[in-house]
Amino acid sequence: MSVLDSEIVATLAAIVGAGNVLTGDDLQGYEQDWRRRAQGKALCVVRPGSTEEVARVVQACAAARVSLVPQGGNTGLVAGSVPDASGTQVVLSLRRMAAVRAIDPQNMTITVEAGFILQRLQETADQAGFLFPLSLGAEGSCTIGGNLATNAGGTQVVRYGNARDLCLGLEVVTAQGEVWDGLSGLRKDNTGYDLRDLYVGSEGTLGVITAATLRLYPKPAAMLTAWAAVPSLEDACSLLGMAHKHLGASLTGFEVMNQFALGLVDKHYPHLRVPMWQETAWCVLIELSDAESEAHARGLFEGMLEQAFEQGLVADAIIAENLRQAHDLWHIRESITLAQVEEGFNVKHDVSIPISLIPEFVREADAALAAAFEGIRFVNFGHLGDGNLHYNIQAPAGIDAKAFVAQHEERISAIVYDTVSKYRGSISAEHGIGELKLHKLPQHKSPTALALMRTIKGALDPHNLLNPGRVLSA
Ligand code: FAD
Ligand code: MLT
Ligand code: ZN
């Protein structure tokens, strides 16, 4: 470590305490991303315990022109939360900041610090008699700061919106180390530019989120989950339309999974007993949250499924008998990501397309890819209710998947993203840009939009100290 590096480490230790500045072997776990697509090298990890400490850390790093990478649970899927390979960046871990600051039952809000784990937030809301609806596979380890920084989506967006929609206020430490207290619980506030919305989804490049005030919802009287085998993606889309019509605001989740994705779960986790996966090309998972009663919910669901059977949209279906069964069905859905990891290296896409165009998009992308790469396998699943597909590609069976991905990922993604753009979709629906999609953005975002983004970055972080080289190239 150079003298300058040692000086900054000592300065940070004076702010947060020596035990909260990690170096050497202790950096493992902070330097590699969840997908193992990026292995960085940090100067150190600093773990502040308060907003004031975060501000002083940022001030110290800004004075020394040392760049910072904010990190929460390090579960992001686009390699945006780990340092680059230079060994000069400081990882700013928010995990120690995990306090509940306030719960306001009448205003139906909760204020928590950025390092609060999402699952704990759901549990805390539940204990207070409310629902916090953000829900995703990584909820046991991701943090609310990371959720907001990536504007995470998940499985309840169709009813409650994404992380942005759940956030009423933020506390942020700016790139200069100033604290912006925007922790308002207001549902209406038109006093100028919306700074909160600027920071949400900025992936640690504009400021460090230290706390947030979030919306709480009434707990539904009953939640029911149905699993249905549907003959085609067109049928899945028609069923979604029917679900909106029959269930209205009670429709809280609508997920789709193709046969190959479910086959992977069956292969790697046979004990999960994936229902119906061999019956049709697609299955859907539908969740209904009812304000009245379980009997009412069941009646609604049965009525809708009956009509769907009559119209041939559904070949087979079950409604979970109890919460345990519902949980098991959701667990199968959430296991697709891990089953893909078990199967080997793959090419991941997180795209959104207008729902009406999704079947056409999939047909066209499938055909183009199958023509270009013999034997590739399509892992298709996601949040159909939001028009968000995880359109992933698994290497052909029996070959070196790592080598296949290294050789062909660029071309595969180019085909997928060109098709996405043709349908006026987005190349990142919910995971963000991070480092992995950085080089793709200029081809799929207008020059005007990119120039505006650069102007914002330059104004808020003129020395490019916060997560440089993520979202926008350095
Ligand atoms: P990290 O991974 O630590 O960081 C993510 C980004 O946010 C980085 O750019 C980082 O610099 C920045 N950041 C983190 N904390 C802060 C902060 N306090 N202030 C400023 N910037 C910060 N995402 C979805 O949207 N929907 C899903 O359904 C979904 N499912 C997933 C399932 C699995 C199994 C996994 C592993 C991931 C999944 N994700 C999903 C990815 C998702 O983006 C992350 O899980 C989560 O939102 C990131 O939170 P985190 O605390 O881990 O953030
Ligand atoms: C999901 O919907 O399960 C997540 O976004 C994770 C993934 O895309 O693998
Ligand atoms: Zn997802």
Distance CA 42, CA 84 (A): 7
Domains of the chain: 3-93 (3.30.43.10), 100-218 (3.30.465.10), 222-337 (3.30.70.2190), 344-439 (3.30.70.2740)
Q: Which tens digits make up the pLDDT trace of 412-450?
A: 999 999 999 999 999 999 999 999 999 999 999 999 999
Q: What angle do CA 77, 91, 20 make, to 5 degrees?
A: 125
Give distance in angstroms: CA of 60 to centre of ligand 3.
Answer: 37
Mean pLDDT calculated for residue range 105-112: 98
CB atoms under 10 Å from CB of 104, counted, come to: 13
Give distance in angstroms: CA of 144 to centre of ligand 1.
Answer: 9
Give distance in angstroms: CA of 388 to centre of ligand 3.
Answer: 7
Mean pLDDT calculated for residue range 64-74: 98
Neighbouring-strand partners of residue 181: 171
Our answer on whether the CB atom of 259 is closer than 6 Å to any ligand 1 atom is no
Distance CA 372, CA 291 (A): 50
Pick from 471, 354, 374: which is nearest to 420 by CA? 354
Chain centroid to CA 53? 28
**Residue nearest to ligand 1 atom 35, measured at CA:** 138
Q: Around 293, how many Cα atoms within 13 Å sit in the side-chain half-sphere?
A: 3
Choosing from 118, 257, 330, 336 the residue with most ligand 2 atoms within 8 A of its CB, the one to mutate for a pocket test is 336
336-343 and 259-268 helices cross at what angle (nearest 10)?
70
pLDDT at 474: 82
What pTM was estimated for this model as a whole?
0.98
In ligand 1, the atom with minimum distance to the C-alpha of 202 is: 21
pLDDT at 414: 98
Strands laid side by side in the 100-104 sheet? 100-104, 109-113, 207-215, 167-174, 179-182
Q: Is 177 helix (H, G, I), strand (E, B) or coil?
A: coil
Beta strand ranges found along 291-412 (DSSP E): 316-319, 346-347, 351-352, 377-383, 388-394
Q: What is the 3-state secondary structure (H, E, C) of 350-373?
A: EEECCHHHHHHHHHHHHHHHHHHC
Our answer on whether the CB atom of 74 is closer than 6 Å to any ligand 1 atom is yes
Contact status, residue 149 vs residue 202, Cβ threshold 8 Å = yes
In ligand 2, the atom with minimum distance to the C-alpha of 154 is: 2
Contact status, residue 430 vs residue 350, Cβ threshold 8 Å = yes
Q: What percent of the chain has pLDDT over 70?
A: 100
Our answer on whether the CB atom of 394 is closer than 6 Å to any ligand 1 atom is no
Our answer on whether the CB atom of 71 is closer than 6 Å to any ligand 1 atom is yes
Whether 2 has a pLDDT exceeding 90, the answer reads no
Our answer on whether the CB atom of 337 is closer than 6 Å to any ligand 2 atom is yes
What is the ipTM metric for this complex? 0.99
